[in-house]
Amino acid sequence: MSTVTGQPNPKAKTKLSPDAATWLRMYRQMLAIRLFEEQVNELYTRALMPGLAHLYVGEEAVAVGVCEALQNDDYITSTHRGHGHCLAKGASPNRMFAALLGKEAGYCKGKGGSMHIADPATGNLGANAIVAGSVGIATGAAFSSKYRGTTQVAVCFFGEGALGQGVLYEEMNMAQLWKLPVIYVCENNSYTEYTHCSETTAGDMAARATAFGVHAETVDGQDVRAVHDVTAKLVERARRGDGPAFLLCNTYRHHGHHVGDISREYYRSKQEERLWATERDPIKLLSNWLVANKHADAATLDKVHAELKSEMQKAVEFAIAAPYPSADKASEDVYA
Amino acid sequence: MPDTNTREITFAEAVREALAEEMRRDARVFILGEDVAEAGTPFKVLSGLVEEFGTKRVVDTPISEAGFTGLAVGAAMTGLRPVVDIMFGDFITLTMDQMANQAAKVHYMSGGKWRVPMVMRTTLGAARRSAAQHSQSLHAWFSHVPGLKVVLPSTPYDAKGLLKTAIRDENPVVFFEDKMMFKMKGPVPAEEYTIPLGVADVKREGDDITLVATSSMVQVALGAAGLLEEIGVSAEVIDPRTTWPLDEKTLVDSVKKTSRAIVIDEGYGRYGVTAEIAAVIAEGAFHYLDAPVKRMGAMHVPIPFSPPLEDVTLPTERSVFDVARALCNRS
């Protein structure tokens, strides 16, 4: 796990019993993602961002709880709703915003945009705009780590919509046959774009993994402590050579499918959205716990908020001021 | 090609030698596919490799073409050099997302940071009485996608030298082998050699007409050239060897010399490799042409099973001869 500034944390070891500093770091990271995404929404609203973005607001506990259990050289693959994963694995907000605005200084030099952030320096194999498009890549990274004799683990993030793609089952089958160190993290936010998952997904979600003998766990995806606790165990298990796991995280996206999805009443109620944004909000749940257990006081948390808000504001300003790539770069990087 | 130590070996043996040499040279190279290990594939191209390299490096997979191709993309990104075996070229349809949306785009989308040094070996070609799902030549599909390279060897010599280069390439390379050619013998030096991608080979020199032919159609074109010689027409036969990168200069220069061209490829003619190469020739040698560029490919039908039906779907020495003779105004 790294801080939002992109500096690898030297203490980034998997801890089965995290201390207060760890919980505070996770709080900071979740809030960073939240504030990053609020800026993204603002950039869209002000027509400063080309294209669209799929916001991760509401799901922060999953990315942060999982990535806190990883080391810098562990791999992740991400999704179209991937800003949270990339930040949690150590991406810098400056280069993230620059990527979203199509600037040369962005992670993909203007080639990828919001849905394709990739960064070898933080083990990020790339966000992927094909649903379940990265399950092969993550499984292959795990195959590679076993082949090369390292202890690197690969985490494959995807939404429950990916459960509709057959290639996921091909990969889980091979991962279990060959005991590959890969963790499939299914973020079940209940909505496959604009359709409730009950209309798209038959049977039990986790049973789809156990059918292959893949170890499966289900966790409250709004509880970062629970997500981290179970991920740390799955990571240790994978490093030991005990094979893949499937982690079903039940969560919720506060915003629509993308920033332009404003009128949502036809597929979900405002009452439901309100409930998840108040009683089930992962950042509120953690801050309440931190204060109740005297790991932090309200003033400390407010200070973190102010710092991050300023950092994100500066990152946006950096990205807006950054130059676009020159047009002749369009034909570069097609071949290595 | 050096004369010393040159042996006659089959196309399949040439492929196997290329793989074995590259696997000895580089521990990152491994083979992944259906029945590649003890079975050595249904065509026995890989026989003996698992005995030398073990099941860690010659990996039998489930029947999951999309799955193991995707796995190879991730393995290639993280330090390995997979050689994926897709038993029949018809099955590349199952790998399309992994190849066209993932392998081909990773390098570009990541701003040049991640690389996908992988090879997909597969087959093309009809005439085995195998019907519509085991006979297609779909190399045009991959040739259409920026980020992929596509190789079409037509001799044992080319197969070995091109495959070794493909394995060392930093990009995803699709390598199509004509399954009717596996038993064809040809001279292959015992010494190490490689052949660069993107360099066409003049298989026969001539002055009156250029026959551009790929893969299975190179032997057809050479046969037609022999028939044309009997009526006094000197045909040049050029094999591009890779559809991308494409050696446009060698093709255009040949047609500037001969002023006539036929492009012969076993894929479908419509929107196919022949269309692209004909366009390259028309654009590059327009003022030198004495006749329209002709294209000959598979008939635009699913490949049929029954021998008399299947046989009429493919260009033959005779049909190429007839088209060439008409182009050259010979009766």
Please provide the DSSP assignment of A61-110 as one string: HHHHHHHTTS-TTSEEEE-TT-HHHHHHTT--HHHHHHHHTT-TTSTTTT
Average pLDDT (B280-298) is 98
Please say if the pLDDT value at position B235 is more than 80. yes
B77 touches chain A (CB under 8 A): yes
Structure tokens of B18? 């290329």
Query: pLDDT averaged over chain B?
Result: 97
Contact check, Cβ <8 Å, B111/A333: yes
Is residue B134 among the annotated active site residues? yes
Contact check, Cβ <8 Å, B114/A148: no
CB B11 within 8 A of CB B188: no
Question: CB-CB: which of B80, B109, B112 is closest to A126?
Answer: B109
Structure tokens of B285? 């040698």
Is position A68 within any domain? yes
Q: Which residue, A103, A165, A115, A158, is CA-closest to A323?
A: A103
Contact check, Cβ <8 Å, B70/A334: no
Q: Which residue, B26, B120, B117, is CA-closest to B74?
A: B117
Average pLDDT (B31-43) is 95
A75 contacts in B (CB within 8 Å)?
Answer: 78
Q: What pLDDT is recorded for position B331?
A: 67
Is position A6 within any domain? no
A305 touches chain B (CB under 8 A): no
Q: What pLDDT is recorded for position B330?
A: 83
CATH number (domain holding residue A43): 3.40.50.970
Is position A12 within any domain? no
Is position A334 within any domain? no
| pLDDT band per the 50, 70, 90 thresholds, residue B127 | confident
CA-based nearest distance B166→chain A, Å: 13
The domain of A87 spans 20-324
CB B291 within 8 A of CB B110: no
Residue with tokens 């309440």: A288
What pTM does this model have? 0.95
Contact check, Cβ <8 Å, A140/B147: no
Within 8 A by CB and 6+ apart from A10, the residues are none
Is position A15 within any domain? no
Within 8 A by CB and 6+ apart from B8, the residues are B185, B186, B187, B188
The helix (H) or strand (E) run that includes residue A215 is: strand A215-220
* Catalytic-labelled residue, pool B107, B134, B287, B300: B134
Which 8-state DSSP code applies to residue A171? H
A162 touches chain B (CB under 8 A): no
B96 contacts in A (CB within 8 Å)?
Answer: none
Is position A10 within any domain? no
| pLDDT band per the 50, 70, 90 thresholds, residue B1 | low
Is position A156 within any domain? yes
Is position A308 within any domain? yes
Question: CB-CB: which of A75, A118, A170 is closest to B78?
Answer: A75
Which 8-state DSSP code applies to residue A8? B
Average pLDDT (B233-259) is 98
- Total domains in chain A come to 1
Contact check, Cβ <8 Å, A111/B108: yes
| pLDDT band per the 50, 70, 90 thresholds, residue B2 | low
Average pLDDT (B299-324) is 97
A137 contacts in B (CB within 8 Å)?
Answer: 70, 73-74, 77, 102, 106
> pLDDT, tens digit, for every residue of B146-194?
999 999 999 999 999 999 999 999 999 999 999 999 999 999 999 999 9
Contact check, Cβ <8 Å, B114/A173: no
Radius of gyration of chain B (CA): 20
Please say if the pLDDT value at position B226 is more than 70. yes
Q: What pLDDT is recorded for position A91?
A: 98
Average pLDDT (B242-260) is 98
Q: 10 Å Cβ neighbour count for A64? A: 30
SS (H, E, C) chain B: CCCCCEEEEEHHHHHHHHHHHHHHHCCCEEEEECCCCCCCCCCCCCCCHHHHHHHHHEEECCCCHHHHHHHHHHHHHCCCEEEEEECCHHHHHHHHHHHHHHHCCHHHHCCCCCCCCCEEEEEECCCCCCCCCCCCCCHHHHHCCCCCEEECCCCHHHHHHHHHHHHHCCCCEEEEEEHHHCCCEEEEECCCCCCCCCCCEEEECCCCEEEEECCHHHHHHHHHHHHHHHCCCCEEEEECCEEECCCHHHHHHHHHHHCCEEEEEEEECCCCHHHHHHHHHHHHCHHHCCCCCEEEEECCCCCCCCHHHHHCCCCCHHHHHHHHHHHCCCC
Q: Which residue, A249, A226, A92, A53, is CA-closest to A156?
A: A249
- If chain A, 336 residues long, is cut into consecutive pieces of 10 residues, what is the mean pLDDT of each piece? 40 61 96 98 96 97 98 98 98 98 97 96 97 98 98 98 98 98 98 95 97 98 98 98 98 96 95 96 97 95 98 98 98 97
Which 8-state DSSP code applies to residue A164? G
Using DSSP's 3-state secondary structure scheme, residue A240 falls into helix
What are chain B's domains? 7-189 (3.40.50.970), 201-327 (3.40.50.920)
